[in-house]
Amino acid sequence: MALLIGTRDGVFRTSGASFEEARQVLDCGRVLRVRRADATDGALAATQTGLFHSTRGGTWTNLGVPLSEVYSATFSPDRDRLYAGTHPAHVYVSTDSGASWRDLVGFQDLPSRERWHTPRHRGEAHVRSLGVHPDAPERVVVGVEVGGVHVSEDRGRTWEERRTGVQDDVHHLLVLGVDEYVASTGGGLYRTRDVGLTWTRLDDDLPHTYFREAYDHAGVLYAAAARSPPPTWGGERGADAAIYESTDGGDTFERRDAPVSPREFVLAWTELDGQVVAGTNEGTVLVRADDGTWEQTGRVPSSIASLAAISR
């Protein structure tokens, strides 16, 4: 497997977990999400200059989403629909692998739509996360920064709000099961087991409340958190972040040490050749060893926002 690293300065690619041959393969500015595109055995890169596709992580093609700032993307389980979430907050769908796009206009009719905004993002919101579970192919779940969680049961034609009980500053939605999601937000970590009808806050006993992304592998839930949002990360204390692991679905967590500076915060996770890999805001890549400790495996010259493993 190869590792794709989405950064503020484009996409980098390594051979396995080795950084001896790490190189930049896409110069696109800020990357919000890289993910494996199983439909084509390739990858997608959602960036502030478009949604890009690559078959092997080397050559990339801009798929021409109508709004160029693409924050999230995913294929449907049947591989015939590609969804893209943008800034401002729209959801687009393509049924021809990105050759043409249609705006899912029902998403604009949600009752809270006019309240989705934040001064930090030009007074607007964006679709930060998109998810579809293989056993519920008609259902699309969306996380909006800042605007909450919303669900469609008919492939995006109509939508329902599922934002009651979860903080609106949604950074990532981890789809754990047909009805179970974990929401990483700027004000806590939340879990639902009924498609967002009710939410349980998971970080009540933790000193950190700012979460960017959670990850699940081999029955362990991984999450990283800072004490407060990015504007406070300057100075000697930095992000003052921590890595947490849970073996009971988030009911309890244990803190894990990692060889990083106080300024660093894990923003991204993936699995590579059976091991969990994490990336930080200062470009450090960490790997979880078999004994449960975290080790540095390499660096890239830019903040890491997303990680994905693809076939070599």
| Average pLDDT along the chain, 312 residues, taken 10 residues at a time | 94 76 91 86 93 90 98 94 98 96 98 93 96 97 98 98 98 97 98 98 96 97 94 83 97 96 93 95 94 93 95 78
Q: Would you state the pLDDT for residue 44?
A: 96
Instruction: Provide the CATH number for the domain around residue 202.
Output: 2.130.10.10
Provide the whole-model pTM: 0.96
Q: Would you state the pLDDT for residue 233?
A: 84
Residue 177, domain extent? 2-310
pLDDT in tens, 103-156: 999 999 999 999 999 888 899 999 999 999 999 999 999 999 999 999 999 999
Structure tokens at 90: 């729209």
Structure tokens at 305: 């926002």
Euclidean distance between CA atoms 44 and 302, whole angstroms? 19
Cα–Cα distances in Å, from 167 out to 43, 119, 164? Answer: 30, 17, 8
Structure tokens at 224: 């990283």
For 233, phi then psi, to 5°, come to: -85, 5
pLDDT in tens, 229-238: 988 887 778 8
Q: Provide the domain count of the chain.
A: 1
Q: Would you state the pLDDT for residue 15?
A: 78
